[in-house]
């Protein structure tokens, strides 16, 4: 969806062409010469403690928990920010979705990085380090990835249900249910906006994960309260036709 | 052995590339391709032409490291691929030195001064350089790719980086150079 158009890639190809001979000749290591970027010539600005993002370990914050109060505050601000420039509920949900999307792409990489690094450290000596978790090729592994590891990374628990649409007309629809989404815990929606579900942000994250894995999908969040779970939310995943076609081909070829 | 490494975004935009040579077995880390210096774009052509094969292999093999995927015999170039889960492609073109016999004798001469301790490392490293499809090479490339992946994830996690942007950070470049020195 938010993929950069083709002409962008053409543009950068021509850029790298003009820069190619120069950069190829200057590729001797340890010449941190800033490539033709509009930066001041002093080059890189390093933080005062000399630690760039590349020097920090990605697992450092792995077990660190975020204060719920500050998250609620930030999220409330995000909703307010999105609401300031919209015309309707759908528009607002779309904006929340767009805020979540890039997060999904990032979480995907982080999730795989963390699971590979733990598996290799746990089995460091054995040769099984060559079997990090596989990229999901079929829809079901992808859904399990979202339902389990992704949810645990975000909320420290799995999602509550994972269902396939029972209607034969919509085989491309899947549902992930969360009985009490964290993002909605401190949000009470006014009566005149009762269709709004701010978990559209989470839907955006899911959409980013699906798209990143190569499964084009539209994801939306819907209120489905029950007596026990008043803020129960269903995330509806609608996969595109291309995905369903590929799914059939892969099934025929016996790819798991 | 000379290497050309490139990262492609999910929409096929090249976001990073670097050429380097082996540092093992007396290598000086400078790329010496068989093309003249004026034809460096050939590396890009060869790498990009392997994308079709990568995209095919992508849906049959769930691993992130796809090993050696393509060969370009006229230049004796081998291409290894690594896929990040979010769809970026790391492609490494490697080209063994043109005259493997003279190359190995010069290594021999250099390391014979080091004696027995040096000879074991020379054996493993020269096999990496000379035989691009051997298990040792695959393993070395895998380690290299994993290290690049770590740096790539760090880049991608930056709030100022959007997917598909060119990676300009000199720190990233030096990290890749270091990984290349360490493993290849």
Give the pLDDT of residue B107. Answer: 40
- Would you say A183 and A212 are in contact if contact means Cβ atoms under 8 Å apart? no
Class for the domain spanning B2-183: alpha beta
Angstrom distance (rounded) from CA B142 to CA B85: 16
Q: Tell me the per-residue pLDDT of B71-83, one tens digit each, with 9 for 90 and over.
A: 888 778 889 999 9
Strand residues in chain B grouped as ranges (E): 2-8, 14-21, 65-72, 77-83, 89-95
Give the pLDDT of residue B128. Answer: 53
- For B17, the closest of A16, A25, A102 (CB atoms) is A16
Q: What is the ipTM for the molecules in this complex?
A: 0.76
- Would you say B94 and B132 are in contact if contact means Cβ atoms under 8 Å apart? yes
Angstrom distance (rounded) from CA B64 to CA A135: 7
CB contact under 8 A, A137 and B62: yes
Contacts of A156 (CB under 8 A, 6+ apart): none
Burial B94-116 (b: 16+ CB within 10 A, else e): bbbbeeeeebbeebeeebeeeee
- Would you say B128 and B171 are in contact if contact means Cβ atoms under 8 Å apart? no
Q: Which residues of B touch A109 (CB under 8 A)?
A: 84-86, 152-153, 156-157
A171 CB near a chain B CB, below 8 Å?
Answer: no
Q: What's the mean pLDDT in B116-145?
A: 63
Angstrom distance (rounded) from CA B79 to CA B91: 7
Q: Which residues of B touch A214 (CB under 8 A)?
A: 58, 87
CB contact under 8 A, A29 and B29: yes
Distance of CA B122 to the CA centre of its chain: 20
Q: What is the pTM of this model?
A: 0.77
Q: Which residues of A touch B157 (CB under 8 A)?
A: 53, 58, 106, 109-110
CB contact under 8 A, B60 and A28: no
Angstrom distance (rounded) from CA B53 to CA B44: 15
Q: Which structure tokens are listed for A4?
A: 């950069």
Residue owning tokens 């975000």: A154
> Which residue, A204, A210, A201, is CA-closest to A240?
A210
Residue owning tokens 């290290």: B147
Render each residue's pLDDT in chain A as its tens digit; 256 residues: 444 444 443 334 334 343 334 444 444 444 444 444 444 445 667 777 777 888 888 877 777 788 889 999 999 999 999 888 788 889 999 999 999 999 999 999 998 888 876 544 443 333 344 456 788 899 999 999 999 889 998 888 899 999 998 888 888 999 999 999 988 888 888 888 888 889 999 999 999 999 999 999 999 999 998 999 988 999 999 999 999 999 999 988 887 7
Angstrom distance (rounded) from CA A215 to CA B59: 12
Angstrom distance (rounded) from CA B78 to CA B71: 5
> Which residue, A145, A116, A156, is CA-closest to A209?
A145
Q: What's the mean pLDDT in B113-137?
A: 52
- For B154, the closest of A8, A53, A136 (CB atoms) is A53
CB contact under 8 A, A137 and B149: no
Angstrom distance (rounded) from CA B73 to CA B53: 16
Helix axes B51-58, B41-49, angle to 10 degrees: 30
Q: Which residue has the higher pLDDT, B154 or A115?
A: B154
Give the pLDDT of residue A238. Answer: 94
pLDDT at B105 over 50: no
A17 CB near a chain B CB, below 8 Å?
Answer: yes
Domain residues of chain A, as ranges? 69-116+136-252
Q: For the domain A69-116+136-252, what is the CATH superfamily, name and number?
A: Trafficking protein particle complex subunit 3 (3.30.1380.20)
For A12-26, B22-36, B140-154, which range has the lowest pLDDT when averaged over its residues?
A12-26
* H-only helix segments in chain A: 6-25, 68-83, 89-122, 139-145, 151-155, 200-212, 241-252
Angstrom distance (rounded) from CA B181 to CA B184: 6
Q: Which structure tokens are listed for A33?
A: 């010469």
Contacts of A73 (CB under 8 A, 6+ apart): none
Q: Which structure tokens are listed for B115?
A: 């004696």
DSSP state of A4: P
């Amino acid at each position: 969806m938010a993929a950069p158009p083709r002409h962008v890639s053409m543009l950068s190809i021509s850029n790298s062409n003009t820069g190619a001979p120069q950069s190829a000749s200057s590729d001797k290591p340890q010449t941190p010469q800033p490539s033709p970027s509009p930066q001041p010539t002093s080059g890189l600005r390093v933080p005062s403690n000399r630690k760039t993002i590349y020097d920090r370990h990605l697992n450092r914050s792995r077990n660190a928990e975020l204060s719920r109060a500050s998250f609620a505050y930030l999220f409330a601000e995000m909703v307010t920010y999105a609401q300031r420039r919209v015309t309707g509920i759908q528009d607002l949900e779309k904006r929340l979705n767009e805020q979540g999307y890039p997060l999904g792409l990032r979480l995907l990489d982080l999730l795989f990085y963390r699971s590979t690094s733990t598996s290799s450290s746990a089995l460091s000596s054995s040769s099984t380090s060559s079997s990090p978790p596989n990229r999901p090729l079929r829809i079901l592994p992808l859904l399990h990835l979202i339902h389990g590891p992704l949810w645990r990374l975000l909320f420290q628990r799995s999602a509550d249900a994972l269902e396939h649409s029972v209607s034969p007309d919509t085989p491309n629809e899947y549902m992930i249910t969360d009985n009490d989404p964290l993002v909605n815990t401190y949000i009470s929606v006014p009566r005149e906006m009762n269709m709004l579900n701010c978990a559209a942000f989470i839907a955006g994250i899911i959409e980013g994960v699906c798209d990143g894995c190569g499964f084009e999908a539209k994801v939306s969040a819907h209120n489905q309260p029950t007596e026990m779970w008043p803020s129960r939310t269903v995330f509806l995943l609608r996969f595109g036709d291309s995905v369903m076609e590929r799914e059939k081909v892969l099934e025929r070829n016996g790819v798991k | 052995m000379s290497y050309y490494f490139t990262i492609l975004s999910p929409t096929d935009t090249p976001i990073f590339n670097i050429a380097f040579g082996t540092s093992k077995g007396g290598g000086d880390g400078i790329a010496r391709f068989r093309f003249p210096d004026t034809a460096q774009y050939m590396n890009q052509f060869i790498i990009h032409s392997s994308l079709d094969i990568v995209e095919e292999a992508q849906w049959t093999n769930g691993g992130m490291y796809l090993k050696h995927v393509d060969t370009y015999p006229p230049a004796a170039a081998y291409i290894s691929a690594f896929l990040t889960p979010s769809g970026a492609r790391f492609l490494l073109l490697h080209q063994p030195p043109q005259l493997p016999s003279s190359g190995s004798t010069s290594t021999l001469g250099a390391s014979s001064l080091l004696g027995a301790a040096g000879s074991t490392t020379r054996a493993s490293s020269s096999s990496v350089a000379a035989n691009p499809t051997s298990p040792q090479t695959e393993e070395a490339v895998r380690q290299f790719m994993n290290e690049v992946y770590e740096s790539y994830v760090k880049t991608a996690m930056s709030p100022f980086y959007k997917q598909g942007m060119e990676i300009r950070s000199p720190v990233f470049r030096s990290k890749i150079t270091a990984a290349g020195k360490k493993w290849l």
